[in-house]
């Protein structure tokens, strides 16, 4: 077979591995941070992110647009975090006793009372409002990106975020 007769090669497993490896190198830390805020501990967050990357690897060939792989990963992290929280069914998450993760004495000293209060109030919000705030302000996603990850419209993100900010302000005593 001559070079001109070589069939065009489609993206195969090696291309998928390279793409996923690149995504992991660039986004794993940020996705883990997002998951930590959602689930409250580092170990569970790492598991959540790992499951998201495994799911992407299994389904990479099925993606309509591989450029949307990061959106897929964010959605998977969000869904996996929801599953972790459902399995736990810990009343402390809803009773206002949320304790942010602490990895060292130095980190505990740096974690101020104000940040603790915000995280505690954040975890008192309904899941959808909490997710909207975390995606918009912690993960720094645009309204459109947040809508894609949550599987809702941009308008829903705007209204949910506004309601969540209002509720968070009331919980923190900043709004009547």
Look up the pTM and report it.
Answer: 0.68
Region 89-114: mean pLDDT is 54
- Long-range pairs of 38-42 with CB within 8 A, sequence gap ≥ 24: 38/77, 38/78, 38/81, 38/85, 38/130, 38/131, 38/134, 39/81, 39/84, 39/85, 40/93, 40/98, 40/99, 40/100, 40/101, 40/123, 41/101, 42/101, 42/103
* Domains, in order of start, for the chain: 15-89 (1.10.1740)
Return the higher-pLDDT residue of 80 and 123: 80
* Spacing of C-alpha 54 from chain mean position: 15
pLDDT above 90 for 154? yes
pLDDT of residue 31: 94
- Model confidence at 7, pLDDT cuts 50, 70, 90, reads very low
């Amino acid at each position: 077979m001559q070079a001109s007769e070589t069939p065009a090669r489609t993206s195969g497993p090696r291309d998928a591995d390279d793409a996923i490896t690149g995504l992991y190198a660039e986004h794993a830390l940020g996705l883990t941070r997002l998951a930590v805020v959602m689930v409250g501990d580092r170990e569970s967050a790492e598991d959540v992110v790992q499951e998201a990357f495994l799911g992407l690897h299994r389904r990479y060939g099925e993606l309509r647009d591989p450029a949307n792989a990061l959106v897929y990963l964010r959605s998977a992290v969000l869904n996996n975090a929801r599953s972790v929280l459902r399995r736990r069914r810990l009343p402390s998450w809803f009773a206002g006793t949320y304790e942010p993760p602490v990895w060292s004495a130095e980190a505990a000293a740096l974690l101020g009372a104000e940040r603790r209060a915000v995280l505690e109030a954040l975890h008192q919000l309904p899941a959808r409002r909490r997710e909207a705030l975390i995606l918009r302000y912690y993960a720094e996603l645009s309204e459109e990106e947040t809508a894609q990850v949550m599987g809702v419209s941009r308008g829903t993100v705007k209204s949910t975020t506004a309601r969540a900010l209002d509720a968070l302000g009331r919980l923190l005593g900043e709004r009547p």
